[in-house]
Copies of this chain bind each other. A is one copy, B any other.
Amino acid sequence: MNIPFNKPHFTGNETTYIKQAVSSQKISGNGIFTKKCQRFFEESYGFKKALLTTSCTDALEMASILIDIKEGDEVIMPSYTFVSTANAFVLRGAKIIFCDSKSDHPGIDEDKIEGLVTSKTKAIVPVHYAGTACDMYKIMSIADKHGLYVIEDAAQAIESYYTFPNGEKKALGSIGHLAAFSFHETKNIICGEGGLLAVNDDQFIERAEIIWEKGTNRSAFFRGEIDKYGWVDIGSSFLPSDINAAFLWAQLENLTKIQQKRISIWNKYHDDLKNVNLQLQKTPEYATNNAHMFFVVCKNGKERKELIKHLSTDSIGAVFHYLSLHKSPYYANKYNGKELENSDHYSDCLVRLPLFFDLTLLEQESIVSSIQTFFSK
């Protein structure tokens, strides 16, 4: 039995919809399936505007252009995140101010954000790691107080929610001024490579569409609002092919089924491993669990290395995750902040277990059993 870390799930209708897209005579961006997906996201999660992108990276780049990042602007984000969270802002000239993770979760330590705000700070980028909400009430309050934008990196956070202290429950990605989602093959809902920009602040809606369409007012032209379109702004080709949107639509139709299966796998891991000597994933009271990922945290780097090797010997693909960005070859000499102990700890000790729709009970039992064997030694 060979259990990979991830296996993309095929719901069955993907290629049927791709053929429909071809029959519609439009497989470039903003075709019928793109519009279906965008409407779904707007209606399901309350985004004011949803725009599919070729990746979450590209959605973050759109956000960076929209908030008009310039040379020297500062952007606060966790160090324990994917390079794209930072690169999207570095490409526009920003200085990245890295914040530590919480001791009990890899997400940004909300209590350490305000100490990093300066007169140059333009935005906070919380990353909902493993789909677990950051404390958005705290973050939005800091942003309001200092006049900052909040861009949610919701790459892993589809179908995940946050409850405010007043009891209001909102979908992740609908709270910050802007948010970015991923449909990369390792995510809950996929199209290989793909993403989404969610716009929640009215001031960005019109320009978002222009930047998305290579800096042209083409969308307004096709709606008949103007009589010719042209170059009006910077921008890029952020639209995915309708082939990708057609694939994504087949997945979205099965969202409930996919989520039920992932949550049942997640719950079994949690039940079966709670007596093992490992730090397990916690879901704060204000958050929900979207079962994007099941991670465990070893005591130290040595133990993690041995555990991954042990699982690999049993043909199980368990993998570590990010390396602290403030220590990366690219940023180490640009970073002049404090040590970020928790970020480094997760860099050294976190392991992700296989969690995908087609994981069988037998496979999961063999993973659990392999971990139990390792820790019983």
Contact = CB atoms under 8 A, between A and B. Distances in A.
Nearest to A190: B27
A98 to B, nearest CB: 12
A57 B18 contact: no
Contacts of A176: none
A279 to B, nearest CB: 22
Contacts of A22: 8, 10, 14
B15 A240 contact: no
A185 interface: yes
A243 interface: yes
Nearest to A9: B22
Contacts of A4: 25
Interface string A38-64: 000000000000000011111001000
Contacts of A83: 214-216, 230-231, 235
A241 B241 CA distance: 10
Interface in A210-253: 214-216, 228, 230-237, 239-244, 247
Give the bracket for the number of chain A residues in contact with chain B: 35 or more
Contact of A184 (B28, B91, B233): B28
B57 A214 contact: yes
Contacts of A236: 55, 57-58, 61, 84, 87-88, 91
Given A54-B237, A241-B192, A242-B192, A231 B27 contact: no
Contact of A185 (B28, B88, B214, B237): B28
Contacts of A331: 231
A78 interface: no
A148 interface: no
Nearest to A84: B214
Given A55-B54, A230-B323, A29 B193 contact: yes
A210 B291 CA distance: 31
A35 interface: no
A258 to B, nearest CB: 15
A231 to B, nearest CB: 4
A231 B330 contact: yes
Contacts of A8: 22, 25-27
A193 B231 contact: no
Nearest to A236: B57
Which of A28, A88, A231, A242 gathers most chain B CB within 10 Å? A231
Given A18-B14, A87-B236, A214-B57, A27 B185 contact: yes
A133 interface: no
Contacts of A37: none
A280 to B, nearest CB: 25
Interface of A: 4, 6-8, 10, 14-15, 18-19, 21-22, 25-29, 54-58, 61, 82-84, 86-88, 90-91, 184-186, 190-194, 214-216, 228, 230-237, 239-244, 247, 323, 325, 328-331
Given A27-B191, A61-B236, A185-B241, 12 more contacts: A26-B185, A27-B192, A58-B237, A82-B214, A83-B235, A90-B234, A91-B236, A193-B237, A231-B328, A231-B329, A231-B331, A243-B244
In the A-B complex, the 3 residue pairs with the smallest Cβ-Cβ separation, listed nearest first, are A192-B241, A57-B237, A231-B328
